[in-house]
Chains A and B, each alone.
Chain A
Amino acid sequence: MSEDEDLVKAVLARAPGAFERLVARHQKLVWHLVYRMVQHPEDARDLSQDVFLRVHERLHQYRFESALSTWIGRVAFSVASRHLQKKKLPMVEAPADDGDRSSPWEQVSDGFDLEAACADSELMQILASAIEKLPPLQRTLVTLYHLEELGIGEIATITGLPEGTIKNYLFRARSRLRQQLEIRMGVAA
């Protein structure tokens, strides 16, 4: 936390290069969050820039009550959510998708080789496109949890969602991805 404090103080004191350091330190989190939410590279780039401009404008309001990354994540989440609202794109989809459909798990052969599958770029491509097809909120949550390795508590602070809801969305997203993967593998087999 003290590193955050030093950096924030340096930015507020307009120390040369301090804000660039802050951006460089947190740009990955902001990009992953914003890009996974809006899924449009140019919009995501502009929005990421807006996030940091807003961070610079409001940094004096940061009270060190959470990690700086969590505070910046909240700004990024709010900027990206507002963008989706403006474009009238839904954050979440109707839960009908997880209904009682026949389970495809039985279709997977016992000879499944994890390492070979991981090296199989086609399979990874299938998964990458399945991730892109998740609803924006689920995409964002799995990104924060699995890619950014944030805890559920931190994600709750960023998104303002209850922890139980986040766990539920994560579970559903992973189940859905696995289902889609296995349907494709079943088709391929």
Chain B
Amino acid sequence: MNSRELETQARLQAQAELAERQQLSASGDPSIDTYRLVLRALRQPPAVQLPADFAARVAARVEGVEEKGSLEDWLVTLLMLGMAVVGFIYAQPVMASVFGQLRFDVPTLPWSWIGAAAASVGVAWAVDRGVMGRRGELGHRG
């Protein structure tokens, strides 16, 4: 198709589309009317359709998947809980004797130095917040 013919065909297609939209009667020009016939055919849905209960079936399948998923989650939780209880019962005598032998000595810490370090971090954080906040405000304005 050369460019002139392309232009002609584009014009005919536009005329046919307009005539179809405005539901005009046949133009009598076979070039336009055959395009109108093509447009009517294109508006026909495919002969094969989805079954009438498609939406219900898909929804049921989704619900089935969800129910199965939640049942599986519930069973896994139950299994983990059971294993934890059995493990605790089994290990309890051993753990009791191990913990009974442990002695914890709490070390003496230099509390005044820890307090000073915490205060410094706090002040630095507050200054940083203040500066960043002001930058953010300027950024919004800019």
Contact = CB atoms under 8 A, between A and B. Distances in A.
Interface of A: 17, 19-21, 23-24, 27-28, 31-32, 35-36, 41, 44-45, 48-49, 52-53, 56, 98-100, 103, 105, 108-110, 112-115, 117-118, 123-124, 127-128, 131, 142-143, 146-147, 171, 174-175, 177-178, 181-182, 185
Judged by DSSP, the binding face of B is helix
A98 B58 contact: no
B50 A124 contact: no
Interface stretch (B41-49, B98-106, B118-126, B127-135): B41-49
A107 to B, nearest CB: 10
Judged by DSSP, the binding face of A is helix
A20 B56 contact: yes
A115 B58 contact: no
Given A100-B2, A147-B43, A115 B34 contact: no
* Chain B interface size range: 35 or more
Contacts of A98: 1
Contact of A177 (B26, B41, B43, B51): B41
Contacts of A44: 48
Contact of B38 (A41, A99, A109, A178): A178
27 contacts: A19-B59, A19-B62, A24-B55, A27-B50, A27-B55, A28-B45, A31-B50, A32-B45, A35-B46, A44-B48, A48-B50, A49-B58, A49-B61, A52-B58, A53-B58, A53-B65, A110-B30, A114-B33, A114-B36, A114-B37, A117-B37, A127-B41, A142-B42, A146-B43, A181-B37, A181-B38, A182-B34
Contacts of A24: 55
